[in-house]
Structure 1
Amino acid sequence: MKVFGVALPLLWATASIARPNGPSQAAFSAPRTWDSPPHPDATNHLVFNTVSSLLQRWQNTIYRNGHIIAAATIPAGTILYHGRTNESVPTVPEWLAFDFEHAYIFCRGPCYVISLMATRDLRLAYFDGSSAAKMQTGPMDTQDVVIRDKPVPGRKFDERTRIAKLCEWGKPFGVDGFVRMEFHFEVMLCDFTAGMEVVTLLNLVPLDWHDMSHPGPKRPPREGDPSPAPPRRRPNFPRPERPVGWKGSLPSARFRGIEALIAGSWHNQAPGETRVRIDYSGIVTFYNPSLTSLVEARRGLRRPLHRLAEISASDSARVHEELAEVFGRQSKGSGIDWGSVTHVVIERYSERLELLQYLLDPETYTNVTERAAEVRIQILTMLAPYITIDAVPATASSSNTSWATSIVHYCSTTQTSLIPDGILTPQERLIRDAVEGTLHEICRRLTLMWIDAFDIEATPERRKQEALGTWRFHVQELMEWLDWPVWAQCHPACGTDAICYVPSWPFFEEGDDPDDMTPRCVSRLRPGEPAEMQHLYQTSLSRDVGEVIG
């Protein structure tokens, strides 16, 4: 992936760590000096990343395999949509969309879309990641732990059984449904008569599926594309009946698919899908370091490969106990909006770290003195709130860096230092530690750079050149460790007639590697024919579509 033209390893890449046995969990919190790096098995940055990404489509598309189950609500007054081929209101658990565009593509033949309003707050469980993607690589692992204790490799995706079992699990806790995400967020609602009222039930103009029987425009070939796959058998969709008096073309199913994807993209970044409210005091994360079987299972793996298939029976039981406590508790947590806390950190540092990366590119400046001075300004900008008047070395030649201790301390704890431990739930304490641990690494790296940059303006050019190389190493390693999806963008930005896209189940283009998350621009006006969407349509948008795709 390239950011500002600088070639970097994939942002989620981590060094392989070969150790036969992991350290005890106590080692994660052992006393350390301010300049000590994080423990290789520590999960602070992973907890931070997942908490900061909740209900944001872009982040949860890039990292499909979710690791959070969160208590959540949909507030009273929220309108949701359900598309179907008959005019009956569901009497069994069914799926709802947050936006009309998503519900509309579930019509084939006669087209009925029901809009419903929540008449009270709906109580939900939210699965992060692309938790509605019917793929065998892990997006549904968290649900499998809930209903089966652990994922079963190769199991077919029987969505009707899944929703029934989830609703059965949630009934004792008063859970109304579940929120998942594919190319958009959806609600799996257990009972359409509980807390919901029909607003409209409309027989709409049907979609024209006939254009899905024929090839759409092909995207231009890309460097490194695999050999063309054999052509798929195309279903022969009949033309729909036109309403009496209708003139011109019917709405195209192909274009409605891209519009549904665009509707999902409205919720790409923070604040994300605002019609769902996360209870941050009730977040159960599989990145909890106490789940030792998962610590061992993901050691040395890139984050896209993290999954729950190797969870032990004892760790699964521990998760079930925590879920029962979270969804069964009556009291609320501290009320702290941990999502906002994490977003503040990302907003403060993400663009500035990108700028540092740009400034440290040898091709940006040929003048070493000018480049070193510019970098010093940016480091000082980020650390200025925490540099007191006595945070300076005792002498110019001193190798003692203890003067920098206070900078790291204030930088890493200001967001959380006055929050009393006693008001936090165990889940919130884990998030608090994740915020502090993530900030500590940011502040540690910046402070190490500041020690060198402090008097860089008065040093010989050779030392400036050495410092620039060291700083480039620090910024690259820090950005890879943080791995913030906000850095995955289309460069240059897409035009008005296109959207920035990464593979989103089931919208995979012919020949795409579904794990290649390099952002690319996709036309809104000339959508192609994604291969897996063809299969989705071929099964009449059945909720058991995984029987075909999986």
Structure 2
Amino acid sequence: MRSLVLALPTLAALVGATPAPLGSLTSPSDLTTNANHVFNAIHSALRQWGSSLNHNGMSYFLATVPKGTQLYHGTSKEEPISGMEWLAYEPEHSLVFSGRHGGPPPFHDNFRLNDQQQPLFESGPPEDDDDLAGYLHTYCAAHPLRLIYVDGEAAAKSDKGTLDTQDYILLNGTEKKGVFWDFERAKGMCELAATEWKGQIHGILRMEGGFEIILCSFKDSLEVVRITRAKSDSRLEEQKFDYYRAITARYDGVGGDRTLLNYDQFVTGFDAKYGIDLFREVEGRTLPRLMNATAKQVGMMREDIRRVVLGMGTDVSLPEHSFNWQGVADMIVGRYAARLKYLVSPSLSTLEAFQREIDSTLQPFIDYARRNSTTESERCATQFIPETAPTASESMAAAAVSHVAHTICSTLLSASEETSYEAAVEKVKELIEYLDWTTWKECGACDPDKLCMLPIWPFGSLEDFMHPTCMNATQMTGRRGYWRLWGRS
């Protein structure tokens, strides 16, 4: 992944400023250095697709689950939960934990390692009817649930970096026992919520094969809707496919305003003020990691998270009062994703055809009687940002989204002025590499009996990551290897 290479000296300087096209130099201390990564974190937040591809999350958002929202818990016990446990957004996600052995149905026989993703406290199968397999608990939020959303695939038990934001930052690297210590991890984060965060947070929102909440107290935060006995499903292949179908239904978000995020006040390791040496080569890919953060850098991030959490009592900090920067990011991606790919496709093989396509894209922002590239770029970049939105000096999200929008528009204008077809196409290719939008890996529409397969813990292969494709239940069986621990196959 490329880092931002545009020359803007400070966050405040984004206000009214138009970035230069890609290729300019920038200071390492530039607060917009990772604007593309911040943009992508905003765009992928609470979305299974983008969060699975950018699985090493670096960001912490305040989140609210509205009162009355239904959530689910699968277990071998009928009695309502009172203490700390997990909740799923989808009943199919919970049902795979209600069976005799717990845990998601593996897509290959030898995946289970230790007690991965067992319920946090409970164990043991039901002792009676062989056709019955535990219970599905349905709860609803008794009050708005205030959560910290840890982005990426933060519930994936992997040493690729999915757990860095929890183990190295929230838990300060203390008592780390490996990737499968989820009970201790959950307990430590709930203790953090009760002490340093003064009870302002009710739980932690994460994602693996589906979104889940570690809720610190069921008794204090939930009402029981119903508790039903689950049926044992011997059709393992169909059960696995049903589970994956429920997961992939949330590729574009958890839906229905079931969770609201504050995009204006969040903390991210991509913020250059921390100076963390983030990017590392992992199996030929560059992934962000927090394992190299110094004690000072960890302390800075923890203090910023604490400050944001403790400010949650004010109306302006509540997620329901945040400006929806994800909506703006959606409009930018929706307008330019296909157009940018078309510009570098063989369909446009001459400079004249290339220039006509850019002119068509930018036509709404051009006064052909008074050409002015700076004005045209500004009109283009601010198309989807209302005047009432927070400014770049007030919000990192505003700065990142504005910067990316200006980068797209200024680069297109610059490319249209090239006299060489090869040079013009190269500028757009660099822009695409810089943006690194997850939408470019989407499968497109799959047949009704197929799903778009990509690695979602604990399933998937490296090939599935590089080239997601539509697969049926039989084709999905046996796909493994992406999430292996180093040294394991």
TM bin (shorter chain): 0.7 to 0.9
Separation (CA, whole Å) in 2 of partners of 1:153 and 1:115: 33
The answer to whether 1:291 aligns with 2:274 is yes
Contact kept? 2:462, 2:482, Cα under 8 Å: no
Contact kept? 2:452, 2:468, Cα under 8 Å: yes
Per the alignment, residue 452 of structure 2 pairs with: 500
The answer to whether 1:356 aligns with 2:322 is no
Separation (CA, whole Å) in 1 of partners of 2:189 and 2:402: 34
Per the alignment, residue 481 of structure 1 pairs with: 434
- Alpha-carbon distance change, 417 to 483 in structure 1, aligned in 2, over 3 angstroms: same
Q: Deviation per CA, 1:455-490, whole angstroms, max 9, x where unpaired?
A: xxxxxxxxxxx6322222122111110000000023
The SS at the match of 1:87 is coil
Separation (CA, whole Å) in 1 of partners of 2:154 and 2:465: 18
Per the alignment, residue 228 of structure 1 pairs with: none
Contact kept? 2:462, 2:481, Cα under 8 Å: no
The answer to whether 1:149 aligns with 2:136 is no
The answer to whether 1:167 aligns with 2:133 is no
Contact kept? 1:64, 1:304, Cα under 8 Å: no
Q: Deviation per CA, 1:285-319, whole angstroms, max 9, x where unpaired?
A: 11111011x1x342899875111011121221111
Deviates more, 1:187-196 or 1:372-381: 372-381
Contact kept? 2:39, 2:329, Cα under 8 Å: yes
- Alpha-carbon distance change, 32 to 79 in structure 1, aligned in 2, over 3 angstroms: closer
Separation (CA, whole Å) in 1 of partners of 2:357 and 2:254: 27
Structure 1 residues not aligned, in runs of 5+: 1-11, 18-22, 209-251, 393-402, 453-465, 536-545
Structure 2 residues not aligned, in runs of 5+: 101-132
- Alpha-carbon distance change, 58 to 32 in structure 1, aligned in 2, over 3 angstroms: closer
Pair member with larger Rg: 1
Q: Once superposed, what is the RMSD of the aligned Cα atoms? A: 3.4
Amino acid at match of 2:272: P
Q: Deviation per CA, 1:374-417, whole angstroms, max 9, x where unpaired?
A: 4333212221232124443xxxxxxxxxx422222322345448
Amino acid at match of 2:279: R
Per the alignment, residue 466 of structure 2 pairs with: 517
Equivalent position to 1:435, from 396, 401, 420: 401
- Alpha-carbon distance change, 155 to 534 in structure 1, aligned in 2, over 3 angstroms: closer
The SS at the match of 2:270 is coil
Equivalent position to 1:104, from 91, 95, 99: 95
Per the alignment, residue 477 of structure 2 pairs with: 528
Deviation at 1:92, TM superposition (A): 2.7
The answer to whether 1:260 aligns with 2:243 is yes
Per the alignment, residue 407 of structure 1 pairs with: 376
Deviation at 1:337, TM superposition (A): 1.2
Contact kept? 2:63, 2:261, Cα under 8 Å: yes
Equivalent position to 2:300, from 318, 334, 341: 318
Equivalent position to 1:308, from 286, 290, 296: 290
Q: Deviation per CA, 1:207-232, whole angstroms, max 9, x where unpaired?
A: 33xxxxxxxxxxxxxxxxxxxxxxxx
Amino acid at match of 1:192: F
Separation (CA, whole Å) in 2 of partners of 1:303 and 1:27: 29
The SS at the match of 1:287 is coil
The SS at the match of 2:36 is helix
Contact kept? 1:506, 1:532, Cα under 8 Å: no
Per the alignment, residue 207 of structure 1 pairs with: 233
- Alpha-carbon distance change, 104 to 324 in structure 1, aligned in 2, over 3 angstroms: same
How does the TM-score come out when normalised to structure 1? 0.72
Counterparts of 1:359-438 in structure 2 under 5 Å?
Answer: 361=346, 364=347, 371-392=350-371, 403-416=372-385, 418-419=387-388, 429-438=395-404
Separation (CA, whole Å) in 2 of partners of 1:471 and 1:111: 61
Contact kept? 1:81, 1:96, Cα under 8 Å: yes
Q: Deviation per CA, 1:68-88, whole angstroms, max 9, x where unpaired?
A: 111001111111111111212
Separation (CA, whole Å) in 2 of partners of 1:436 and 1:271: 26
Separation (CA, whole Å) in 2 of partners of 1:259 and 1:191: 30
Amino acid at match of 1:199: V
Q: Percent identity?
A: 26
- Alpha-carbon distance change, 60 to 317 in structure 1, aligned in 2, over 3 angstroms: same
- Alpha-carbon distance change, 417 to 202 in structure 1, aligned in 2, over 3 angstroms: closer
Per the alignment, residue 6 of structure 1 pairs with: none
Contact kept? 1:63, 1:304, Cα under 8 Å: no
The answer to whether 1:344 aligns with 2:331 is yes
Separation (CA, whole Å) in 2 of partners of 1:194 and 1:524: 40
Deviation at 1:320, TM superposition (A): 1.5
Separation (CA, whole Å) in 2 of partners of 1:343 and 1:283: 19
The SS at the match of 1:324 is helix
- Alpha-carbon distance change, 28 to 195 in structure 1, aligned in 2, over 3 angstroms: closer
Contact kept? 2:390, 2:398, Cα under 8 Å: no
Per the alignment, residue 415 of structure 2 pairs with: 449
The SS at the match of 1:305 is strand
Structure 1 stretches (4+) deviating beyond 6 angstroms? 30-33, 151-154, 299-303, 532-535
Separation (CA, whole Å) in 1 of partners of 2:471 and 2:389: 48
Amino acid at match of 1:405: T
Per the alignment, residue 113 of structure 2 pairs with: none
Deviation at 1:432, TM superposition (A): 1.0
Deviation at 1:518, TM superposition (A): 1.8
Contact kept? 1:353, 1:475, Cα under 8 Å: yes
Contact kept? 1:267, 1:273, Cα under 8 Å: no
Deviation at 1:115, TM superposition (A): 0.6
The answer to whether 1:121 aligns with 2:144 is yes
The SS at the match of 1:193 is helix
Deviation at 1:173, TM superposition (A): 3.6
Contact kept? 2:66, 2:144, Cα under 8 Å: yes
Separation (CA, whole Å) in 1 of partners of 2:396 and 2:243: 36
The answer to whether 1:80 aligns with 2:71 is yes
- Alpha-carbon distance change, 297 to 336 in structure 1, aligned in 2, over 3 angstroms: closer
Contact kept? 2:36, 2:435, Cα under 8 Å: yes
